[in-house]
Structure 1
Amino acid sequence: MVVYHELTAGKMKNRFIFSFFAFLLGAMLELSSGCFGQAVRAKPAKRYNILFISSDDLNNDIGCFGNPLVQTPHIDRLAQRGVLFSRAYSQFPLCGPSRASLLTGRRPDVTGVYDLKTNFRTNLPDVVTLPQLFKNNNYFSARVGKIFHYGVPNEIGTDGMDDPVSWHKVINPKGRDKAEERLLTNLTPGHGLGAAFAYLAADGTDDEQTDGMIANEAVKLLEEKKDEPFFLAVGFFRPHCPYVAPKKYFDLYPLDKIPLAREVANDLDDVPKAAIFTNPPHYGLDEDKRRQAQRAYYASITFMDAQVGKLLDALDRLKLSEHTIIVFWSDHGYNLGQHGQWQKFSLFENSAKAPLLISVPGGLKGRQSARTVELLDIYPTIAELCGLPASGTQGKSLVQLLRRPSAKWDRPAFSQIQKGKITGRSVRTERWRYTEWDEGRSGTELYDERNDPEEFTNLASANRYRNRVAELSGLLKKGTR
């Protein structure tokens, strides 16, 4: 102020003109700068936090994704805060390879992870993971529960195949679900618990279960770190088998109300043998036992959903919602008897498709995008939203779909699995799914997802679709590597 009063009239006029144009320039910069197109204020806007929520082995049997039976009020509430991606696909429908791909932003043929034992650092020792990117940029980075691969249930309470360099802090709860494994009902006793139709309608409260403890520990971290930028990854174990949830969640699903997957005669006659994982179909279980397994899976989903509700409530209570990006995802989908198949590790739609929700403060609310996207796209999306580099990643940022869910989008989704010496590779466009087993030597599949969404009719050998097969085969060869 003193300097200003010492200026001559001419200098004051020049200063005024300079200040006016500086103001205009600043206003223009405000309109074009900032995370997700938000204006930069006089003081730097607070950086977005990231709440990164995963659910293990969750398919799209969720209320907001169109299943009227399964009760998920809190995930539905999250969907009303952001954009739901109804066609999001896993790059490898198996926990370890999928998570390695998603968290590094690289395809499975780059990570070299095709099983549950290989660590991605073996092939990519210097790769920067998504949480590590935020850690390296002065965010508090923490994990509670399963984010990188864990063997379930054996490794609950341990670090599993974690990536220590990605985090400042890790918490590995272990609840009574782990202690009470002796009480499980196992409908497939020949299978280990990590792949068995085993379940328990548990006594006690949510807070005694591992996922309940995970939610509570995550809320504590939100309370502790509310005043600094954070990347908080919260990984729930349910609905991964064994299907364990407090009894009250089982009570929501009377056994006689559980609808089994629709089947048609001779469904598998036109399906390559390599495409079949569950053999014999349904593991030979009768309808009653299949309903028991499916009921337990649904009960586990609703239990997990209640834990998501704790996180959303904490964000609101702590006034963090207005500057926290929320990402909800699962590592892949889950077959529940479609084509006689169960669980994951297949390239049918129910296994390859995964739930994905993204909520950005100030962004669109309650919208849905039907564009075909990949879990691989999560890394560059979150990085762009927060102005961080995503160098070397192979997905594409979804920011334009977060702004306009129906925007033009010409990218298909690619998925693959490894079965012994045979690799299955699949490409999904908005209308078609095309799959090759061992580059076609062990069979091919083509499904018209618009007219045959349950994939009952394999069109790959029909003459009228030769050009379509050739087109998609060429696309497949370009896309999975």
Structure 2
Amino acid sequence: MQKTYFILVALLTFMGSYAQDKHPNIIFLLADDQRDNTFGAMGHPHIQTPHVDKLINNGVRFSNTYIAEPICAPSRVALFTGLNERMSGVGFTSSYKLTEDQWAHSYPEMLRKNGYYTGFIGKFGMEYYTFKGKAKAKFDYWRAHDGWAKFWPKTARNCAEYFDSGEDIITPVMGESIVEFLDDVPSEKPFCLSVSFSVPHGSQIKSMYPGNKEAEDCMIPANEYEKLKGHPFYDTLYRNMNIQIPEETATDPYVHIPYQVLDQNKGRATKVYKYDYDTISCYEHHIRYYQQISAMDKVIGDMVKALNEKGLSKNTVIIFASDHGLLMGEYGMGGKALLYDLTTKIPCFIYDPRLPAKSKGKTENKLVSSLDIPSTILDYAGITPPACMQGESLVPLIKGRNRKWRKELFLESLYTGRGNPVCEGIRLGDWKYIRMFQIKKGKYTEEDLNFTSRKPDYEQLFNLKDDPNEMNNLVEKYDGSEILAKLRNKTSDHFNKQNMAREKYKTNTLIIER
């Protein structure tokens, strides 16, 4: 009897060890245009997100996460490959496209080659700049689109993958797809599902009331559209709350960035984000923005329910991030592609059901980059990240291991459309330094990004401890100071290292120092 007991204990111990060592399933959820602190559990005063809040409260939140590229397509390339735009060469206004060799070192492809069943749902966001319609073959399951979806996807030609859905609105359509993927997963394989939500992107905001120009400009409530009447999220939710829009809405944006550095009339104020340049439409934008986040929360809750019902919840890691933040009237502006915290900081958390109780609900404030996410995904899968990936795995931070972590973070935005300048900067302690360069041409090359002997067209310096809203540019006040000189030099050092790394990367000899 005693011998049988010890055998049983040994067997259970072995099985427990096996369960811990077994590679987990991974779900990577990516929002579009969602800025940091826009979940209830992150302290937002209005947004109702009970399902995500539960994941955050039982997971690990990374409260100082910066996106590698604060604009759509290059941000997504960075999330797939672990390379910033200067390294990969891929962006809206660059001269390059993603290659098959680069994709071979992306996290989806490496997982697939190592036995994972992979799926992609939603906005791929970069197929137009690369694979020419062949992205579908790069996943085992594909229900996705390129470009910008509409709130009602059946009205958009690029959403043909969704036309057979029983749902009419893009977010629940994606929820339907998530459940379908989970139904199709082979039992003998771990899986990785990448879900790229379209919300709360401006394409969704503007298309809630189709065919109405005033509604597209957010000058009238979207719920005047008959099909939204009575909807639990898109009708009256948030419309009777005391929502405050930024005090700077519709004020002079050139107080913050001069006209000759960024002409707002080249697209921001006159076309793409013009609803944030008027107080009435900015207020409506905020309501729709919050509504869409709450509706996404419902889909995430349904996903968690499906995982439970299918017996997958105990071994499925959920990672959440956004492709960048957004200005919504702050500084008198709208949009992204700048290096303010509102555009570069993103909500990021990891829910791992295998975490011990003492680690659940933890907030980690160390500097994290979106470039860390693909390395983290591969680490969970037991795969060594390729040497070219620039990020670090977050798993050691989650496990509370004492290790050296970055004290500073290089920031960049190389998008030059709509009059935007190239932006580079650094976050170090309480400080953030930014420098801007105008490039007056259509597509940039490496030579255009060589600023070695060029003085910046504009600089910003913020003390985030004293000025968390980044309203007071301290460059003139700190001219000649040790801290400004230090930040300028560090930015230049990172810039030079990035350029040298790009040259090595192009010859396939790059080795990243870890």
- Which TM class, normalised by the smaller chain length? 0.7 to 0.9
| Residue of structure 1 equivalent to 2:319 | 327
Identify if the C-alpha distance between structure 1 residues 380 and 357 changes in structure 2 by more than 3 Å, giving closer, same or farther.
Answer: same
| Residue of structure 1 equivalent to 2:220 | none
CA distance in 2, matches of 1:208, 1:269: 43
Task: Confirm or deny that 1:177 pairs with 2:152.
Answer: yes
CA distance in 2, matches of 1:150, 1:165: 12
Task: Confirm or deny that 1:384 pairs with 2:379.
Answer: yes
User: Which amino acid in the other structure matches residue 457 of structure 1?
Assistant: N
CA distance in 2, matches of 1:284, 1:322: 43
Contact 2:65 2:345 (C-alpha < 8 Å) held by counterparts:
yes
| Residue of structure 1 equivalent to 2:33 | 57
Q: CA deviation at 1:208?
A: 2.5
- The structure with the largest strand share of the pair is 1
| Residue of structure 2 equivalent to 1:298 | 290
CA-to-partner distance for each residue in 1:159-215, whole Å, 9 max, x for gaps?
98774463122113888713458xxxxxxxxxxxxxxxxxxxxxxx99421221111
| Residue of structure 2 equivalent to 1:395 | 391
Decide which of 106, 118, 136 is 1:129's aligned counterpart: 106
Q: CA deviation at 1:321?
A: 1.6
Identify if the C-alpha distance between structure 1 residues 79 and 140 changes in structure 2 by more than 3 Å, giving closer, same or farther.
Answer: same
CA distance in 2, matches of 1:279, 1:176: 23
| Residue of structure 2 equivalent to 1:350 | 342
Identify if the C-alpha distance between structure 1 residues 339 and 121 changes in structure 2 by more than 3 Å, giving closer, same or farther.
Answer: same
Task: Confirm or deny that 1:375 pairs with 2:360.
Answer: no
Give the number of aligned pairs. Answer: 418
Identify if the C-alpha distance between structure 1 residues 475 and 175 changes in structure 2 by more than 3 Å, giving closer, same or farther.
Answer: closer
| Residue of structure 1 equivalent to 2:219 | none
What runs of 5+ residues in structure 2 fail to find an aligned partner?
Answer: 1-9, 157-164, 209-227, 438-450, 499-514
Which segment is superposed worse, 170-179 or 83-92? Answer: 170-179
Identify if the C-alpha distance between structure 1 residues 348 and 115 changes in structure 2 by more than 3 Å, giving closer, same or farther.
Answer: same
Q: CA deviation at 1:455?
A: 0.7
Which segment is superposed worse, 383-392 or 423-432? Answer: 423-432
CA distance in 2, matches of 1:383, 1:63: 29
| Residue of structure 1 equivalent to 2:85 | 108
| TM-score, length of structure 2 as denominator length | 0.73
Matches within 5 A, 1:46-195: 46-60=22-36, 61-115=38-92, 120-122=97-99, 125=102, 127-149=104-126, 163-164=135-136, 166-172=138-144, 177-179=152-154
Identify if the C-alpha distance between structure 1 residues 358 and 436 changes in structure 2 by more than 3 Å, giving closer, same or farther.
Answer: same
Decide which of 170, 173, 183 is 1:210's aligned counterpart: 170
The SS at the match of 1:327 is: strand
CA distance in 2, matches of 1:161, 1:346: 30
Decide which of 255, 258, 269 is 1:269's aligned counterpart: 255
Contact 2:58 2:360 (C-alpha < 8 Å) held by counterparts:
yes
The SS at the match of 1:329 is: strand
| Residue of structure 1 equivalent to 2:476 | 461
CA-to-partner distance for each residue in 1:410-438, whole Å, 9 max, x for gaps?
34332323325842112223412110112
Q: CA deviation at 1:65?
A: 2.0
Task: Confirm or deny that 1:220 pairs with 2:180.
Answer: yes
The SS at the match of 2:481 is: helix
The SS at the match of 1:291 is: helix
Q: CA deviation at 1:283?
A: 6.2
Contact 1:75 1:309 (C-alpha < 8 Å) held by counterparts:
yes
| Residue of structure 1 equivalent to 2:244 | 259
Identify if the C-alpha distance between structure 1 residues 84 and 176 changes in structure 2 by more than 3 Å, giving closer, same or farther.
Answer: closer
| Residue of structure 1 equivalent to 2:406 | 410
Which segment is superposed worse, 165-174 or 322-331? Answer: 165-174
The SS at the match of 1:134 is: helix
Identify if the C-alpha distance between structure 1 residues 344 and 275 changes in structure 2 by more than 3 Å, giving closer, same or farther.
Answer: same
Contact 1:175 1:208 (C-alpha < 8 Å) held by counterparts:
no
Matches within 5 A, 1:439-450: 440-450=455-465
The SS at the match of 1:292 is: helix
Q: Which structure is larger by alpha-carbon Rg, 1 or 2?
A: 1
Contact 2:276 2:282 (C-alpha < 8 Å) held by counterparts:
no
| Residue of structure 2 equivalent to 1:248 | 232
The SS at the match of 2:460 is: strand
CA distance in 2, matches of 1:323, 1:160: 35
CA distance in 2, matches of 1:123, 1:416: 24
User: Which amino acid in the other structure matches residue 451 of structure 1?
Assistant: D
| Residue of structure 1 equivalent to 2:466 | 451
Q: CA deviation at 1:368?
A: 1.0
CA RMSD of aligned residues (A): 3.4
| Residue of structure 1 equivalent to 2:446 | none
CA distance in 2, matches of 1:175, 1:461: 45
The SS at the match of 1:437 is: strand
User: Which amino acid in the other structure matches residue 109 of structure 1?
Assistant: R
| TM-score, length of structure 1 as denominator length | 0.78
Contact 1:64 1:76 (C-alpha < 8 Å) held by counterparts:
yes
CA distance in 2, matches of 1:117, 1:218: 33
Q: CA deviation at 1:81?
A: 2.7
| Residue of structure 2 equivalent to 1:229 | 190
Identify if the C-alpha distance between structure 1 residues 406 and 372 changes in structure 2 by more than 3 Å, giving closer, same or farther.
Answer: farther
Contact 1:255 1:295 (C-alpha < 8 Å) held by counterparts:
no
CA distance in 2, matches of 1:324, 1:295: 33
CA distance in 1, matches of 2:252, 2:284: 25
Which segment is superposed worse, 448-457 or 458-467? Answer: 458-467
CA distance in 2, matches of 1:289, 1:412: 38
The SS at the match of 1:445 is: strand
Contact 1:49 1:230 (C-alpha < 8 Å) held by counterparts:
yes
CA distance in 1, matches of 2:151, 2:177: 16
User: Which amino acid in the other structure matches residue 370 of structure 1?
Assistant: N
CA-to-partner distance for each residue in 1:213-254, whole Å, 9 max, x for gaps?
111111121122162211111121111123266543241111
Identical positions, percent: 25
Identify if the C-alpha distance between structure 1 residues 339 and 362 changes in structure 2 by more than 3 Å, giving closer, same or farther.
Answer: same
